[in-house]
Amino acid sequence: MANLEFYIKQTITYQVTVMVLRHVKEFFETFGDIAYRFCQVMKYLIKLQINIKQVTEQASRFAVDSLPITLSIVSMTAIILAMQIAPEMVKQGGKDYIGLLVALTMVREVGVIMSGFAIISMIGSSQASELATMRVTDQIDAMKVLKVSPFQYLFLPRVLAGFIMMPFVVIIASTFGIIAGGITAMFSAKDVTWLSYVTSVWQGLYIRDINIMLLKSACFGGAISLISSSCGYDAKGGAKGVGIATTKAVVWSFVAIVIIDCIFAVSFYF
């Protein structure tokens, strides 16, 4: 019987099954931890136990420090997009719709998604590694000994700053993207003027799209900060644990914003 059990454990089927079950268990544990910490953050937010100084510092870090890389990524994406569609639209006689396509693409999807990716890469990973370092160096345990809640002191300022500042980042990035797309369209396609491009933008852009973009970006910002902080909070095992926690935060944040984006698309545009 012992030999049979040994041979079963050596099979690929058994090893794959164990691996899948382990990842499923880890997924639900992580999801549960994030949900629990979200409830803790909301508890302190409802009680208005907010450290304004901490929120201001995190807001500056979230928006100002990440703005250059965000503008670069979104603008380059808009340039590539305009470079691809402008000549084809002119060939099909649709030069008056180039601005409309670029604006709708930037406002509805590309501006928000690419800004989210930039924020995850720079701010989310930084938040995760910061809290992970505090965890493995016992700083968080010291906070608990001093009766300071990590959720109030560490989580709430980051989540609140992300929720508030992400819409501003997306507005600026999308505006730059639309302008960069217009300049590119003028140089890459014939008979496309700045006036026709701007007119096309205003004809196809509605306040409803902008409101949805702002709400979506706020959810993105809060989710990125919450997930990054939560993954960093669970770090263990020294320097290696910090790296694992940071990688986990980035992966979970990417997946989260894609799921949130899908929910918004089904809710408002399906």
Instruction: Give the model confidence (pLDDT) of 203-252 as tens digits.
Output: 878 888 899 999 999 999 999 999 999 998 888 877 888 888 899 899 99
Average pLDDT, rounded, for the chain: 86
Query: Which residues, 6+ apart, have CB-to-CB distance to 95 below 8 Å?
Result: 86, 89, 189, 191, 192, 196
Domain count, the chain: 1
pLDDT at 4 over 80: no
CA-CA distance, 102 to 121, in Å (whole number)? 25
Type of residue numbered 186 = M
CA-CA distance, 142 to 218, in Å (whole number)? 32
Instruction: Give the model confidence (pLDDT) of 17-42 as tens digits.
Output: 777 787 788 778 888 888 888 898 89
Question: What's the domain range around 251?
Answer: 2-269
Share of the chain above pLDDT 90, in %: 26
CA-CA distance, 7 to 119, in Å (whole number)? 48
Give the pLDDT score at 14. 65
pLDDT at 139 over 70: yes
